[in-house]
């Protein structure tokens, strides 16, 4: 029998972050993960600047040697191009495999126990089994991703799926041509280009259509296609769904959910990983206080802003004419996009931003004469 204080189901970024945060509080942790490390996943592989603070609290200091820094975000829908540099620290493009290895190393340093290649059977009305082995734990943490079985098993499924889209990613050997993460907007979806190394970029595409796939999205983005034409692909194509999900509760009894299992945001926000790291820290505080209710109560304060931004950005995806107008405003008013990015990263409050700029922005959206800017 496996005995521990906390059994974490799922050893993705959120599960590993939760293990680190709990170990830092002296909790005896076991992670059971169906796959073996390092674990890859379809992802844009961009860590936004607001991830650093949480990662540092977890004792994981990532630097340029782990990937490639990027200095802001560019929205591109030729001929329109709007650029927002970050205020303060840069973001980091990092291969998923590298991120996973760095988190696993930190877990090992702290004495987290692992059961790799161990699918956890979570069946309604039955006890949890790790590879048919029974388990005695004080807390069960579901970090088993968007389609969490722990969520269903523990009765925490009640909530809303606000959006569902389909993503894919692939790496190309090419020198990054921009110091920004580029988000290319097309009618079939978006492609994000994240610099990952001096000679490598990660391209992730996301579309509402399950049949669009990466080629379908890139077909509507000729400028980006030209950039990567003839460049060797250096990884296999991987796909994954991306959702915006809100739950009524993320903890019940001695069970809690973290990461995508607990709440997710569309990939376009670039906030999925940072959210998981922050939730992990919050969960550890609640476990230390012996009150998972605190976690459930404070969880919405972490996800509210990214989910609001997710909905806003998805309006640009859904309505091409709105997108065209919005990008025209952002391209013509170089102050607005950086301030919106600061709001996205919680460096500026959303209500203050809307109070100061909301009316003027709405007016500009209706009156803007779409003009091109050089891409
Ligand atoms: C196309 C795309 C692009 C994205 N781009 C970005 C980006 O640029 N930046 C960003 O921050 N976020 C991005 N995201 C979101 C980010 O990938 C997720 O938020 C993140 O992976 C969530 O981590 P997690 O640990 O909660 O879940 P996962 O990474 O899904 O990990 C869950 C783990 O649980 C394991 N598991 C599941 N069931 C069981 C079981 N029964 N027993 C044992 N193990 C189990 C799985 O094997 C898996 O390893 C993107 C997502 C997509 C789809």
* C-alpha–C-alpha distance, residues 67 and 93, integer Å: 5
Please provide the size of the chain in residues. 375
Look up the domain containing 345 and give its range: 322-367
Looking at the domain assignment, is residue 73 inside a domain?
no
The preferred substitution site among 20, 39, 122, 267 for testing ligand 1, maximizing ligand atoms within 8 Å of CB, is 267
Looking at the domain assignment, is residue 333 inside a domain?
yes
For 61, other C-beta atoms within 10 Å of its C-beta total: 11
Q: Are residues 21 and 131 in the same domain?
A: yes
* C-alpha–C-alpha distance, residues 244 and 34, integer Å: 24
Q: Are 271 and 12 in contact (CB under 8 A)?
A: no
Given this model, what pLDDT does residue 10 score?
A: 98
* C-alpha–C-alpha distance, residues 325 and 375, integer Å: 17
Q: Are residues 275 and 338 in the same domain?
A: no
Residue 339: its H or E element: helix 336-344
Q: Are residues 252 and 305 in the same domain?
A: yes
Ligand 1 centroid to 357 CA: how many Å?
35
Block mean pLDDT (10 aa), the chain, length 375: 96 98 98 97 96 96 94 94 94 98 98 97 87 94 96 95 96 97 96 97 96 93 95 97 96 97 95 97 97 96 93 93 91 90 89 84 78 56
* C-alpha–C-alpha distance, residues 328 and 331, integer Å: 5
In the chain, how many domains are there?
A: 2
CATH number at residue 139: 3.50.50.60
Ligand 1 binding site (Cβ under 6 Å of any ligand atom): 9-15, 32-35, 39, 41-46, 119-120, 143-145, 149, 167, 169, 204, 206, 240, 242, 259-261, 267, 270-274, 276
Q: Are residues 339 and 359 in the same domain?
A: yes
- Measured from the CA of 273, which atom of ligand 1 is nearest? 11
Ligand 1 centroid to 33 CA: how many Å?
12
Sign for the pseudo-dihedral over CA of 178, 38, 143, 160: positive
For the whole model, what pTM was predicted? Answer: 0.95
Q: SS3 sequence, 287-316?
A: HHCCCHHHHHHHHHHHHHHHHHHHHHHHHH
Given this model, what pLDDT does residue 33 score?
A: 98
Residue that terminates a domain, selected from 292, 312, 332: 312
- Which CA distances in Å does 141 have to 16, 254, 310, 354? 11, 8, 26, 37
């Amino acid at each position: 029998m496996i005995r521990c204080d906390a059994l974490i189901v799922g050893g993705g970024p959120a599960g590993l972050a939760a293990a680190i945060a709990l170990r830092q509080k002296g909790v005896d942790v076991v992670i059971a993960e169906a796959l073996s490390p390092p674990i890859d996943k379809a992802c844009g592989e961009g860590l936004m600047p607001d991830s650093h603070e949480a990662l540092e609290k977890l004792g994981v200091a990532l630097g340029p040697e782990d990937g490639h820094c990027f200095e802001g975000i560019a929205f591109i829908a030729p001929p329109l191009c709007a650029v927002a540099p970050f205020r303060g620290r840069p973001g980091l493009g990092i291969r998923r495999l590298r991120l996973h290895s760095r988190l696993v190393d930190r877990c090992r340093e702290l004495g987290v126990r692992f059961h790799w290649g161990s699918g956890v059977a979570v069946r309604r009305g039955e006890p949890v089994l790790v590879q048919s082995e029974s388990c005695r734990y004080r807390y069960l943490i579901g970090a088993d991703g968007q389609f969490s079985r722990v969520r269903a098993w523990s009765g925490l499924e009640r909530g809303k799926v606000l959006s569902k889209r389909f993503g894919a990613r692939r790496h190309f050997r090419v020198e990054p041509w921009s110091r920004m993460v580029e988000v290319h907007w097309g009618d079939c979806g978006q492609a994000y280009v994240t610099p990952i190394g001096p000679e490598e970029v990660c391209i992730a595409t996301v579309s509402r259509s399950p049949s669009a796939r990466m080629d379908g999205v890139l077909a509507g983005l000729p400028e980006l296609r030209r950039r990567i034409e003839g460049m060797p692909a250096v990884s296999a194509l991987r796909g994954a769904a991306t959702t915006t999900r809100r739950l009524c509760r993320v903890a019940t009894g001695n069970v809690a959910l973290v990461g995508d299992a607990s709440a997710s945001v569309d990939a376009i926000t670039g906030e999925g990983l940072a959210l998981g790291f922050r939730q992990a820290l919050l969960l550890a505080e609640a476990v230390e206080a012996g009150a998972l209710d605190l976690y459930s109560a404070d969880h919405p304060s972490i996800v509210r802003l990214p989910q609001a931004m997710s909905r806003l950005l998805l309006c640009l995806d859904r309505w091409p004419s709105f997108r065209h107008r919005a990008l025209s405003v952002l391209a013509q008013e170089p102050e607005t996009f950086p301030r919106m990015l600061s709001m996205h990263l919680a460096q500026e409050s959303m209500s203050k931003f809307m109070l100061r700029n909301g009316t003027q922005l709405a007016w500009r959206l209706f009156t803007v004469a779409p003009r091109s800017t050089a891409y």
